[in-house]
Structure 1
């Protein structure tokens, strides 16, 4: 495996260095009233060695995704649209809208955003340094995007606030599944349940602390309350979730700690402890109540040999379920990110238990599966243009 890992990594990196370097096409001036529109994107190729039963013939470098982005900036307005086309068996067999929003700048720090956008839950859009992301991403807590309005404002004391209302989730797009062709893990309609989350109210507060020149810290918390419509029983349930976080950086060292609880009342008499979610064209069940956590440690070596930035990282994440008959889930990632201009290469080793996306099954995040430690070698090449 080490030889395969080394050959694939070196091959993708050398191929990428030979590509032209440019980042998007910008039309206009962002400092003008008319503003500027930037068109950019990315293409991704991957190699995976799934050490949980997949035959060696399926281990190959293949196209992963194409990404198109539109970004708009002016004196008072800003906006973003992003669409992604993925390949599982054939080109664009799963594709989805990720972002689609416009915003108004009240001043240099405060703004109002309307549309499909990242939710203000946890320390930020991303909770860790990896590409594959921790288990909370599969649970729809990290890098989640919903349709609504968000107000962001800051105080002179370096205290930041986000208040948001999301009418509904990000929606279902093109794929083979019934209702799971989504970028964000949402409650979905399935053969077992018919749930939809709506009226999502969220609040986040964070405080920047700089005790020393090289030491920066941010502490904060966020809360999430929403209605869950059960179309099978014609009753309305709810979701309540909270998260506390602390991010620290000292020179090139970064540490992030996030933990919280999620609790769903799905008003389902037959399946009260489990709800069906869907993302990336796959359906899976998640326990309704439990504690989640993510620990991220990373260190960046800048300008190695005058051209390469190298960031090793470790991600420790899990979901401890309240139901003692359910097996807890975890996903831990040891990796290195290599970047040169518009090229990034992630080399990761993922170790998971009871994980639907790493060797698991539909019920991995609920009752659990065989409980074995499944391993995945994930190499992802990204060229941004």
Structure 2
């Protein structure tokens, strides 16, 4: 009985262990399935994130591609726009502007008794036209002047710009010598003008470098602006610039037509200047100039000539100071001491060699007096000395004021001079000290 009782108990015990084991396996499988399901969801979520990232990357690439296309299109449009703007600007720059001036003059001359008796004279001075402009890449500048007694071309040249600071000029251009553009502030210039050493124009080619701080001008002139020794002009003295037109023989009159014609030829000229700017108020240009050329007679060479100068042009606020020391030499075969020059429809005479010194001061004062908006107070002094042939020295001092009123500019000049053209004398004369009070009234347009 005990054995019988034990058997069912044992059997029951064995059956209970198998059921527990089976349940444990099922639970494990369920847990595993749950974990797999969770992992699958995580994988699905990661896959979705990956797909989203790929989609975003594709969209970004597409957007980047679209952006690049848009940028390329904008660049092309910008290039076309710039080309159109450049074309319009070029058209706007093309064309010639016409300007000019008309001037009248009053003068009181103590060396002219009839003028003194009339208490001075009023005259028409000049009417001029200025042409300036550009057609494509070529610049044009010209000036034509009409006087009561003659007409003359002052300058006429064509220019080509190699760069912003470099230009080549061809035609009737200014000789690069001394302080530029003028070595004076008054109506009469300095005495150098009457020697052909200030604001003088010859036919040739000129290179100009106008950088900062350097200014370099190199030029070659074939002949003067009147065509040289045999130019096709009615009168070689009908010139704005003073040109050598002959060699004076002993006893030949100062104002006589030259008996022995001459002219400059093949002249090389150079001007180099450097500008200092120590501060915003002060600017100083220091420079040196030189030229050398030949002298031509009717059929052959008759000598050569040269000139050189040291010059300074300084600005301090409203004050301008100019100084220049020059020397010129005409070496004529046969050793002539005097040369004939021509300008303004008459002939004059200069020494073949001389030294020149100039010193000028100007002060600008802005004002508001009705139409008057500016006053220029100046004193310009010139001395021509050590002349060949023991000719007396020339000096000229001009004390004056320039008055600006809109498009009007008026020179009031009191001139004291000796042996000075237009002041009762000649560069080759031996006269006394003369005086002239001059008012030049001009309208500029």
User: Normalising TM by the smaller chain, what interval?
Assistant: 0.7 to 0.9
Q: Please say if residues 195 and 230 of structure 1, whose CA atoms lie closer than 8 Å, have aligned partners that are also in contact.
A: yes
Structure 1 length-normalised TM: 0.84
Residue number in structure 1 paired with 2:316: 250
Counterpart Cα distance in 2 of 1:161 and 1:50: 41
Question: For residue 214 of structure 2, what is the aligned residue in structure 1?
Answer: 159
* 1:186 and 2:243 correspond: yes
* Structure 2 counterparts to residues 124-143 of structure 1, below 5 A: 124-143=180-199
Name the residue aligned to 2:82.
none
For the residues of structure 1 that align with 2:190 and 2:236, how far apart are their CA atoms? 23
Partner of 1:383: 443
Q: Which residue of 1 aligns with 2:61?
A: none
CA contact (8 A) 2:338 2:389 kept: no
Larger helix share, 1 or 2: 2
What value does the CA root-mean-square deviation take over the aligned residues? 2.2
Larger radius of gyration: 2
Correspondence for 1:304? 368
Higher percent of residues as strand? 1
Measured at CA, do residues 321 and 177 of structure 1 come closer, stay the same or move farther in structure 2, by a change above 3 Å?
farther
Which one of 112, 137, 142 corresponds to residue 168 of structure 2? Answer: 112
1:172: how far off? 7.3
Structure 2's unaligned 5+ residue stretches are: 1-86, 247-256
Q: Deviations over 1:276-315 (max 9, x none)?
A: 1011111111101111121110000013337420001000
Query: Kindly tell me: are residues 177 and 355 of structure 1, through their superposed partners in 2, closer, same or farther at Cα, counting changes over 3 Å?
Result: farther
The reply on whether 1:171 has 2:226 as its aligned counterpart is yes
CA deviation after TM superposition for structure 1 residue 164, in Å: 0.2
Contact 1:312 1:336 in 2 (8 A): yes
Structure 1 residue 106, shift from structure 2 partner: 1.1
Paired residues, number: 342
Give the TM-score taking structure 2 as reference length.
Answer: 0.73
Counterpart Cα distance in 1 of 2:268 and 2:186 = 28
- Closer/same/farther in 2, CA of residues 74 and 211 from structure 1, 3 Å limit: farther
Higher relative contact order (CA 8 A, sep 6+): 1
Corresponding residue for residue 365 of structure 1: 427
Cα pair 1:66 1:84 within 8 Å, conserved:
yes
Structure 1 residues 172 and 54 mapped into 2: Cα distance closer, same or farther (>3 Å)? Answer: farther
Query: Partners in 1 of 2:138 and 2:356 — Cα distance?
Result: 36
Once the two structures are TM-superposed, the CA of residue 58 in structure 1 deviates from its matched residue by 7.6
Q: Distance in 2 between matches of 1:380 and 1:46?
A: 4
Q: Could you tell me which runs of 5 or more consecutive residues in structure 1 were left unpaired when the two chains were aligned.
A: 1-27, 88-92
